[in-house]
Structure 1
């Protein structure tokens, strides 16, 4: 090859087409019923990248509960609404969120939280819940009832889907500032279980580590764990809390009873009010069961998935 031909080759731009990432679209085979395996990371698993979630998490790549950093690689990405949610409940969630059929992506960043390994495991197994504040729960309750929510500052009226339900982003617009939540260990997290250590960063670069012991209350029964600031969508957080609190024997401490009762009420409205609309949106799939099986019961057969898109 001559010098001239080499120069010509260098001048020709590379026209190799770049392959666009395939968006994650949930598939719902009747024989499987689940979209993703639970708690199992398999080869090619399309979990979001830490870098993507770090951009929107108010505390960065730190545990949302303890604020511990990831220097020891002990921080994991946790889902609020479980990745193993069954097809029937996913359909119900889509209707409730005002989304199109088969468009819900559980790997969206508003459904993700950074948690330490031990907090993640306790959250997945129902030993604790994350609860929005009462003001947030009140707005969510009113939105589900399809009543006009006072205090909206939207420049245009909320958009409703084909069934007349308001899209969740018109009720809780995505915000980098985050919203306030309360981390509540249930009474099953008793004195025989580990303590929780929370970190507080100071302007001078020092860190204060405070250890909280079960039952995580003052002698008068007041909460001692710090209030959380998370970017998560309250719809997902409430759905997960409803699933945990609906299990037999689940007991919350007295300081969180008011929020827990409202979560159970909202969850009941979600299930009852949207089941008929979900059936109407998908009359052919005949997915069973209507209610989700145990959130910790592995599906019979995992399915391959493409890489998930992040918000």
Structure 2
């Protein structure tokens, strides 16, 4: 099976340099004291479109040959990344979004000029709707994680981190379909081999944890009802899971109330607006006391408004 290499991610970083931000690493002495750890937050919520997802979407789009337009299916952040890439390249874009997806994220997708198709769309029929639109438009579909170019783009945030700090004991990464952690792990296990790569999922959506323990892709019976709406795939990706098996050290789960607590702590002490999914790594620090002292936490997105 095809997979990504460190070289693919290094090439993606050069390709993306004119198009994305080099995001900072933040810290808070108060959070360090509260958690009894030294925490370093890779601030991808300050990325263009408010999420790391633009890295993968743009890397994939830049390598297409004369596409008619771009098409994707996403609950929000990847949708914005693809819409941004389409606008940058002067292409039309259609995004299939679940009917119950965040209105904030739908509005953001439209703000980049994309067409949102959401009427009657659920996790059960979204793929069928995508196929119908591909047949109608001839647009190129960019999957949120089942795409090697997307995975490579997501890994570029880890390349940046290596230039911004000394190697931590471990990094904590939110896990949905596995595109981000696959890219990050590919970089870190090549360049910081002693650093643990640890994924974090909601307890209600622990498909990746179950899959790693079973040694095969496990699928949930239904999309998880979690505050972390950006990590609701029902199973890890076909392309991402082998990378996770090979390079990810562990996957932890956290409770819903801890996700909310971590989100509030980040907004209070880092003074940053983050979405619940971005709080998963800190939630793991709050719940799992065995974690080592120096930790880098990838803050995946900031597309959130209080209801």
TM-score of Structure 1 vs Structure 2, range by shorter chain:
under 0.3
- Structure with higher RCO (Cα < 8 A, 6+ apart): 1
TM-score by length of 1: 0.25
More helix by share: 2
Bigger CA radius of gyration:
1
